[in-house]
Amino acid sequence: MNTAQSPEAKLASSVGRIAAVLEHEGFPPAERAALRRMNPEILPPLAWYRFALPHLPEDWDLTEERQKKWMTLVAGIALMSPAAHRPDVSLGQALGESGYSEARLERLLEAEGDTQRVLLLRAARYLAAKSRPFNWTEAALLLFAREENKQESIRRRIARDFYQAARKQSA
């Protein structure tokens, strides 16, 4: 029997574990605050390493780019904690239901690299202010998808869910 998980399933499992740790009432507030303030473009605080070493997959730091993606993901979940991850609400749905602008969505979905990370954290701040948790696995897929067809698939799914939710809100 093959028990190997797909990369997407591994990522979803990692996201669930990260969210559970950051959302737990026993997680130190000062550590969560330090993770919230992280900027993937500057030297990370020690809180990052205290969190990353026991809670992230072993290959989180293979490249600088990969580390920045994990930092963005952790910072975003920390920004929204203690209510960050809700597996039954897609990223597009949360953005559409909360009144996120179409122009901002377009910039987020077109962005890559540093710009994508900045815009994803801005979206997380926006959703945190609206108290709209969502499935962070989609954000992780947006960050980590390497193949063009997978990138396009996740972008299309986010856009579809956004427009469906926005239509329901305006009806």
pLDDT in tens, 64-119: 999 999 999 999 999 999 999 999 999 999 999 999 999 999 999 999 999 999 99
Indicate the pTM of the whole model.
0.93
With respect to residue 2, please indicate whether it lies within any of the assigned structural domains.
no
In the predicted model, is pLDDT for residue 1 greater than 50?
no
In the predicted model, is pLDDT for residue 6 greater than 90?
no
Q: How would residue 56 be classed by pLDDT, with cut points 50, 70 and 90?
A: very high
With respect to residue 116, please indicate whether it lies within any of the assigned structural domains.
yes
**What's residue 94's pLDDT?**
98
| CATH code assigned at 40 | 1.10.520.40
With respect to residue 52, please indicate whether it lies within any of the assigned structural domains.
yes
pLDDT in tens, 14-50: 999 999 999 999 999 999 999 999 998 899 999 999 9
With respect to residue 1, please indicate whether it lies within any of the assigned structural domains.
no
Write out the H or E segment, with its range, that includes residue 64. Answer: helix 64-80
With respect to residue 23, please indicate whether it lies within any of the assigned structural domains.
yes
* Cross-strand partners of 122: none
Measure the CA–CA gap between 124 and 133, rounded to whole angstroms.
9
Q: How would residue 3 be classed by pLDDT, with cut points 50, 70 and 90?
A: low
In the predicted model, is pLDDT for residue 2 greater than 60?
no
Measure the CA–CA gap between 82 and 12, rounded to whole angstroms.
18
Q: How would residue 7 be classed by pLDDT, with cut points 50, 70 and 90?
A: confident
Residue 78 CB neighbour total at 10 angstroms: 28
Range of the domain at 166: 7-170
Task: Tally the domains of the chain.
Answer: 1
With respect to residue 117, please indicate whether it lies within any of the assigned structural domains.
yes
With respect to residue 121, please indicate whether it lies within any of the assigned structural domains.
yes
CB 86 within 8 A of CB 138: no
With respect to residue 84, please indicate whether it lies within any of the assigned structural domains.
yes
pLDDT in tens, 117-169: 999 999 999 999 999 999 999 999 999 998 899 999 999 999 999 999 999 88
